[in-house]
Amino acid sequence: MIRYEPSPAQSALPSATCRMALIGRMADDMREIAFDGQGVSAETLVQRGWTLPTVKRFSGEAIAQARRQSVRRLGR
């Protein structure tokens, strides 16, 4: 009897969800604001087009992601 097992390409993770895409975009905006020399706050994100409920909902995860993306690891 022949048995088939899924290849690694078939069992790959699905594409990013809408939620993760929003968090990624917010993290990118946070990094741009910070590198521009401004303080990142809910008000500055609202000025960039984010709604206050969205900022309150996703800011914690976006802050963590922005910090992870901003840290450079030099030693390997």
pLDDT in tens, 24-65: 999 999 999 999 999 999 999 999 999 999 999 999 999 999
pLDDT category at 70 given cuts 50, 70, 90 is confident
Spatial contact of 30 and 62, defined as CB atoms under 8 Å apart: yes
d(CA 42, CA 55): 6
What ranges do the domains of the chain cover? Answer: 18-69
Residue ranges of alpha helices (H) inside 8-48 are 18-35, 42-47
Which residues, 6+ apart, have CB-to-CB distance to 56 below 8 Å? 42
The string of pLDDT tens digits covering residues 10-30 is: 545 546 788 899 999 999 999
First to last CA, the chain: 48
pLDDT category at 7 given cuts 50, 70, 90 is low
Per-residue pLDDT for 74 more than 60? Answer: yes
